[in-house]
Chains A and B, each alone.
Chain A
Amino acid sequence: MITLDHITKTYGKDESAFNALNDISFSIEEGSTLAIIGKSGSGKSTLMHIMSGLDRPTRGKVVVSNIDVYKLKSRDIDNFRSEQISFIFQSFFVEANQTCYQNVMLPLEIAKVPMAKRKKLVMDALTAVELDNKVNKLASTLSGGQKQRLAIARAIVNKPKILFADEPTGNLDTSTGDKIIKLIFDLNKSLGTTIVLVTHDHDLARRCQTQIHLKDGRIDRTVGSKSVKPVKSGKAK
């Protein structure tokens, strides 16, 4: 279960204070798919950062598998991310001057996965995204779609519990984008990875089991809320 309890994120102080997120509460089952949609500035990226342990909320708590993430020490939050969280970004963020193998290896190095296990994990991930024939190619030689597939391989190599995808098709043509989305949803089914998709593409969002529409830092509405459960109201810590 992933629970957000009265999450508020305020930037600035006193008169210049601005609430990017305002009292957001919901919970979803692990292994489900969630789309966070909204216009630019609605707070969807901030919500993703807080859910993934990247940005501490001003108030409220995030609980993942019974772990209150922000009660952890900074170092333990790093460990939580390296073991349970993964990301796919619109700009891919692959290291152009490194090979596909080296790119996919990064999360395993960060998580201190034993050396002996790494090669198989990397090859499995590259095979899953059909890049096993590009193992020793530099990332800079790949096409946009291949780069995003490489980013997906890097995201799934350490079998994360939650995969955050921030506008994953934003830089791709429709055909390549569709293939990438299919790949992401296939991972949800095959590995049971919880997918949190941040997008302003309503068609893409509709493919998720749950959609949370954000407007001005608040939940405007939820759709297909089978897995979204209301959180009992209470004072957030």
Chain B
Amino acid sequence: MFLLDILRRSARSLLSAKARTILTAIAIAVGAFALTLTLGASNGARSYGDNLIKTNFDPTELIVSKDKSIFSNSDNSQPQVYNPSFGNITNGSGAVTQVQMLSNSDLARLSQTKGVSTVRPSISIALQYITRDGQRKYVATMEAYSAYKKPALLAGNIPTAIPQRSIILPEGFLQALGFSNAQSAIGQNVRVAVQKQVNQSSIISSLLSGNLDSLSKTSTQPTSTETVFKIIAVTQKPSSLIQPGTALYLYSSNADVVALNDYSTQGSANYHKYLTAYVQVKDGTNTTKLKATQARIIAEGYAAQSVIDTEKTLTQVINVLQGIVTVFGLIAVVASVFGVINTMYISVLQRTREIGLMKALGMHKKDVNKLFLFEAALIGFLGGFIGSMLGLITGTLLNPWISNKLSLGGAHLLQFNISQQVILILALMLIAIIAGLMPARKAAKLDPIEALRSE
């Protein structure tokens, strides 16, 4: 028999038992539906992660730290030995750990490392406030501007070298600071206040020793300073793909940010200490050179992570989550396999005489086998197609709601890939074929004489 004839007969057989075929296909469709959404979610999460990193981090830079625990999970279950040269960091739940901080000499050493172009400390300053004449004061965070970010501008422009005392204002502050529009803010001044970190240990020792003169001196020292910055550009509110919480970051030159940070930390343990630094690599787009420089920095006793490493870490997390959800989808598929086996056995039983007739008329065992395997494959296709389509429709309808709930901006969590869906359907067809192997073999082995005698 020609394959086309076998395929047509299989399809006709399925059509003649519509209810049975559809119910079996639905069992497969449940698995296909779950797997479609899983694939969509993992695609979306991966794409979101990739874009988040690519749009926020310069791939030619390395993030360098003195403490390896910055890039990995440190063991917080045991008490940590205090080290006065270490800096303190607080995690999200408020637990304090100590890590080795980079000093200015470390930054200088990194600058001398072969392959390194520039080194800048990673500084985020929690400003006391930002304001302008006649306006209220607002809390804000300031960072050094990285040319890699290239934000969309509403007004002004950002020169390659940002002049001192210049500030890039996010759109979110326009109204708050009394500007009617972005253009009117350009060239205007704002005042940025930084608070000096209080040297708690000197206050406590003054209190404990009863040396109130000393305490008085400490408390009368100025604890904050205002600096005037000129607005040179206003950035548009990003629609998506920014680091969470950075939409209202103010950006200035590295020198200004370092100066404000020095003022803020002077006299504290964190003075001239940095958790991480951005190390720009010469010809960093060349992965080999990037990796070589990374290796040299690590060899000097630092921890260094590239954007690729960050992506890998993120991908690992996504893969684990994807694996967990995939298992649920696969369980549904495995359950549907038994449905296919059952359906195919019933089909063989119901068509015993038909099989007998076909074999009596000279149909080869292999063709009988194919007839039932095609039938199983068609059920697999039908189930896979229905499940995929339902998954695609559901995903498309749910995407706006999910994006809103997860604050993803314009990005969609569920992203579907047609070739993935085709592979999924083909895989389900293969699984259905495997499920149909035993019933098909039973059909192929039927004795035509016995089959024709059956009632």
User: Which residues of the partner chain A approach B359 to less than 8 Å between Cβ atoms?
Assistant: 78
- Interface hit among B25-33, B70-78, B316-324, B361-369: B361-369
When the two chains form their complex, are residues B362 and A111 in contact, meaning their CB atoms are under 8 A apart?
Answer: yes
Give complex CA distance A53, B150 in Å: 82
Bound Cα distance A97, B361 (Å): 19
Decide if A110 touches B448 in the complex (CB within 8 Å).
no
- CB neighbours (8 Å) of B357 from chain A are 87, 93, 106
A102 with B452: in contact, given A82-B361, A85-B362, A107-B361 (CB under 8 Å)?
Answer: no
CB-defined contacts of B356 to chain A, threshold 8 Å: 93
- Report A-chain residues with C-beta under 8 Å of the C-beta of B449: 49, 54-55
**Size range of the interface on A?**
20 to 34
Assuming the contacts A89-B452, A93-B452, asked whether A78 and B362 have C-beta atoms less than 8 A apart, the reply is yes
Quick check: is A86 within 8 A (CB to CB) of the other chain?
yes
Complex contacts, A54 vs chain B, CB 8 Å: 360, 448-449
Proximity string of chain B (424-455) to chain A, C-beta cutoff 8 Å, 1 when within and 0 when not: 00000000000000000000000011001000
B196 interface residue (CB < 8 Å to A): no
* A5 CB–B CB distance under 8 Å: no
- Residue A141 at the B interface, CB < 8 A? no
Decide: A86 near B361, CB < 8 A? Known: A55-B449, A93-B353: yes
Is B12 an interface residue, CB under 8 A from the partner? yes
Q: Assuming A109-B2, A110-B1, A112-B2, is B362 touching A97 (CB within 8 A)?
A: no
Q: Which residue of A lies closest to B453 (CB)?
A: A45
Verify B364–A78 contact, CB threshold 8 A. Answer: yes
Known contacts A54-B449, A102-B12; is-contact A95 B354 (Cβ 8 Å)? yes
Query: Is A109 a contact partner of B362 (Cβ separation < 8 A)?
Result: no
Contact mask for chain B residues 324-356; partner A; CB cutoff 8 A; 1 contact, 0 none: 000000000000000000000000000001101
CB contact list, B364-398 vs A, under 8 A: 364-365, 367
| Interface presence of A98 (CB below 8 A) | yes
Within 8 Å by CB of B361, from A74, A81, A98, A102, lies A81
With a CB–CB cut-off of 8 A, which chain B residues contact A49?
449
| B interface list, Cβ under 8 A from A | 1-2, 5, 9, 12, 16, 353-354, 356-365, 367, 448-449, 452
| A and B contact pairs by CB, cutoff 8 A, 7 listed | A49-B449, A78-B362, A81-B360, A93-B452, A106-B358, A107-B361, A110-B358
Other than A95-B354, A110-B367, give 4 A-B pairs with Cβ distance below 8 A. Answer: A81-B360, A81-B362, A82-B363, A109-B2
Question: What are the 3 closest A-B residue pairs judged by CB atoms, nearest first?
Answer: A82-B362, A81-B362, A97-B16
